[in-house]
Chains A and B, each alone.
Chain A
Amino acid sequence: MTPFLRRAAAALFAVTLTAAIVALSRAPFKVTRDDQALLRVSWSGRPARIERCRELSDEELEKVPPHMRQRLECEGRSARYGVRVLSDGAVLSTDTVSGGGLRGDRSIHMLREYPVVPGPHTFAVEVARTDSAGVSEKAEEDAGDARAAEAPSEGQLDRGARERQERRRQRQERLPPRLRIDTTVALAPGAVLLISYDPIERRLVALTGDRSAQRGRPASPPAR
C-alpha cells in the first residue's frame, strides 16, 4: 500500500467511524404505533381511617408525659378502595388499592395506563371505599362538630378542641367514600387523557394537554 493510499484509507476509516457514532447518536426510533392513544389514570389521596376513638379522662392524661398528651385516642387502620376503569362500558381493569407504607397509613398512589384506539370514547373511573367507616368515627365526627361549634374562638380552644379541629382537617383531606367520573372525549392518535384526583375540589378530573389542564384545573367540566 502506498503512503497516499494508506493515508486515504486511514482518513476514510476515521470518517466512517465518526459517521457511525453520529448515526447511532441520533437514530430515529419508533416508540408509538400510529393507531394508539392512551388513557392514564393517576391519582393520589389519603385513605379514610377506620378507627375507634375515645376521649381520655383528665386522670388518664396526667399519666402521660406532657408532650405526648392527646385527648382523643384512636386505634384502627386505613380503608381500602376499589377502582374500576371502564371504556365504552367495558371494564378495562378492577383493582383494590390501599395506603402505602408498612402500616398502610400513607397516601394511596395509583398510576395505570391503558392503550386505547384513537377516536371517541366514553371513559368512566370509579373509586369506592370497600371498607365501611366505623360507627364510632361517625359519632366522633358529629360530637366533634358540635364541640367545635361551641368553642369560643380559635385562640382559646383547649387541647381537645384543637385535636378535634385537626382531625376534622385531616378527614377533609382524606378520600371521599365514593368518586366517579364519566367523560366522553375524542382522542387523536398519540393523545393522552389523564384522569386524576383534585384534592381541593375532592373529585376526579379529566385532563388533556392544554395549558389550563397543566396548571391543575380541569380541562373539561368534571363529572361526578
Chain B
Amino acid sequence: MTPAKRPGRRLLAAADALVNRLYGSSLNPLYQSGTIVVALLLVLLATGIWLVFFYRIGAPWASVGRITADPWIGRWMRGLHRYASDAAIVATLVHAARIIVQRRTWGPHLLAWVSGLVLLGLLLLCGVTGFVLVWDTFGRALAVEGARILDALPVLSEPVSRTFVGERPVPGTFFFLTLFIHIAVPLGMGAALWLHISRLARPAVLPPRRLTWTVVALLLVAALAAPLGMDAEGTAFALPPRITLDWFYGGWLPLTSPLPRGAVWLAGLAGTVLLLLVPRWTRPAPGARPPSVVDEAICVGCWQCAWDCPYDAITMLPRASGRAEVVARVDPERCVSCGICAGSCAPMGVGPPGRTGRDQLARVRDFLADPGRRPGELVAIACESGAGALAPVLEREGAVVYPVDCAGNLHTSVVELLVRGGAGGVLVLTCHARDCRNREGPRWLADRIYAGREAELEDRVDRRRVAVVPAGAHDDGTATTAVRRFREGIAALDRPAADVSVEVDQQCERPPAARRGARR
C-alpha cells in the first residue's frame, strides 16, 4: 500500500484538501498545528502574567471572582487565557495525529516524538493546576480526584486526599505549591520545546503572522462573546449537583472517578506505553529507508546538500586529498532518509541508496525506453505521499503519471531528460509547502527549477515545458485544472525531437568557494 492510500493518510488528506479550499495552503491551520501551539503558549504566557498580579493565594476563589467581575480587562483576559489553553490542546492533538499518520515518529524523529509527549503532559499539568487555582467546584473536583489517584502511590506518609476533607481549611501552602507548579511548568516546557525542534534545520516556530492574529482574534471574540462565569466555591461540605467541566483538561474526571485508583494508574501507564510504542509501529521495515550515503569520489564539497538537509544530518569535513577541501559526511543517527540531498547534489554524489540522482536517471531512462511512450506526452511527476493518489484523475486527463518518493528528492536532470527525451511537458505535482513529509522538498525544488538554486534546471531546458504545482492527495480539482492549463500552454509549442541518448550535465557550475554562504 502506497503511503497515500493508507486510511489515516487518506482521511488526513481529505481534511487538508477541505481546509486548503477554505483558507489556502499557506494559511491552512492543519499544516500549522505545531506552530499554532507555540503561538498559543505565548498568548498564555502574556495573559497569565497579567492574571497572576491579581491572584491571591489566601483567597483564591474570591480573587478570581474579582478578576472575572472586572468587565474591562479582567473578564476577557481570563477568558482569553482559558480558551487559548483549550485551543492549545486541540492544536497539539491535531499535530500529534498528523505526525502519527505521516509516520514521522521513528528513528531520528524519536526525540521529537518523546519530547512532544512530555510537552503534552506538561501542558495538561499546567492546565489542570490552572483550574485548581480557581478553586471553584470544578477546580476542587480536579484536586480531589487527583489526590485520590496520587494516594495510590505508597510513598506518601499522609494521604493527600485528607487535605480536602474539611477538617480544616485548605492551607495556603497548597495554593502556593499549585501556583508554583503552574508557573514553573512553562519553564520546563520551554526546555522540552527546544529539545522538540533541536534536530530540525530552520525550524518554523511560529505560524504566519496573519494566521496567528486570526487565531488570537477568534479566541478574543470568544472571550468577549462567551465570557467566563464563576461557579460556586469549592467546599468539602457540599456535593455540587453539577460542575462546569472543561473537557480538554478535565475530560478524564468522568472516566477515572468510578474506577479504583490502581485501575487508573494501570490505564495511565498503559496509555503512556502505547504512545511511546507508536514509533515502533510506524517505522518502516528494516532496511526499507536506509540513510543517505556520500560517494566521496564524486562529492565536490559544494556544501549544498548540507545546506538543504532539513535535519542537519550532513556535515562537511576536511578532506585529506582530492578535488575539494571538504567532503560531505552523513550522520546516520540524524538522517531520516528523506532524500532531499539527492535532489540538491548536482554531481549526484549523495542520497539514500536506490534514490540518488544517478538512480533516478537510470529509472527515467527506463521510463523513456518503454515502447509505449509517445512523443509529446504530458508527464505528471507525482509525489507518492500526495498527488500520487490522483493517478486515475491525471491519467483520465491524458497525463502519464511518473510517481516519485518525494518531489523534493527530484533531481532536475530527471526533468531535463524527460523534456529532452520527447515529453511535451513535465508537470511536477508536489505536496503543499507546509505539508511536505520531508519538510522543505517543494521549496527547494521550486528554487532549483525557477531560482537557480544549486543543482538547478539547466537554462537549455525550455521552462514553458515545465511546471510545478502543489497538490495533495485529494486536490482532484487542482490537479485537473493544472493538467488542462499546462496542456493548453504546451500545445502551442513546437513538438520537441526526442533525444533519449542526450547526456545531462552533472557538474556544479561554479567553484564552491564562490558560492559558500550565498545559497542558504
Query: Are B222 and A14 touching (Cβ within 8 A)?
Result: no
The number of chain B residues touching the other chain, given as a range, is 35 or more
Q: Does B86 contact A (CB under 8 A)?
A: yes
CB nearest to B27 among chain A residues: A10
On chain B, the residues within 8 Å of A30 by CB distance are 241-242
Query: Are A25 and B241 touching (Cβ within 8 A)?
Result: no
Query: Are A26 and B246 touching (Cβ within 8 A)?
Result: yes
Query: Are A209 and B238 touching (Cβ within 8 A)?
Result: yes
Q: Does A109 contact B (CB under 8 A)?
A: yes
**Least CB distance, B167 to chain A, in whole angstroms:** 5
Q: Does B21 contact A (CB under 8 A)?
A: yes
On chain A, the residues within 8 Å of B240 by CB distance are 31-32, 190
Residues 99 to 151 of chain A near chain B (Cβ within 8 Å)? 100-101, 106-107, 109, 111
Q: Does B517 contact A (CB under 8 A)?
A: no
Query: Are A216 and B167 touching (Cβ within 8 A)?
Result: yes
Q: Which of B86, B141, B157, B235 contacts A31 (CB 8 A)?
A: B141
Which of A35-43, A86-94, A166-174 forms part of the interface with chain B? Answer: A35-43
Which of B213-221, B338-346, B404-412, B424-432 forms part of the interface with chain A? Answer: B213-221
On chain A, the residues within 8 Å of B254 by CB distance are 29
On chain A, the residues within 8 Å of B248 by CB distance are 21, 24-25
Q: Does A196 contact B (CB under 8 A)?
A: yes
Which of B158-166, B280-288, B468-476, B482-490 forms part of the interface with chain A? Answer: B158-166
Provide the bound-state CA to CA distance between A37 and B451, in Å. 75
Provide the bound-state CA to CA distance between A191 and B269, in Å. 35
Which of B22, B23, B161, B226 lies at the interface centre, i.e. has the most chain A CB atoms within 10 A of its CB?
B22
On chain A, the residues within 8 Å of B161 by CB distance are 111
Number of CB contacts from chain A to chain B under 8 A: 131
CB nearest to A193 among chain B residues: B237
**Least CB distance, B188 to chain A, in whole angstroms:** 24
Query: Are B87 and A194 touching (Cβ within 8 A)?
Result: no
On chain B, the residues within 8 Å of A208 by CB distance are 237
Which of A6, A26, A208 lies at the interface centre, i.e. has the most chain B CB atoms within 10 A of its CB?
A26
If the complex has contacts A14-B218, A28-B245, A44-B158, are A37 and B166 also in contact, measured as CB distance less than 8 A?
no
Query: Are A196 and B167 touching (Cβ within 8 A)?
Result: yes
Q: Does A9 contact B (CB under 8 A)?
A: yes
Q: Which of A13, A28, A101 contacts B244 (CB 8 A)?
A: A28
Q: 11 more A-B contacts (CB under 8 A) besides A29-B244, A190-B241?
A: A6-B21, A13-B22, A21-B86, A25-B246, A26-B245, A27-B245, A29-B245, A32-B242, A100-B157, A109-B158, A208-B237
- 11 examples of A-B residue contacts, CB within 8 angstroms: A10-B23, A13-B22, A14-B218, A18-B219, A18-B222, A21-B86, A25-B82, A44-B162, A100-B157, A192-B239, A214-B169
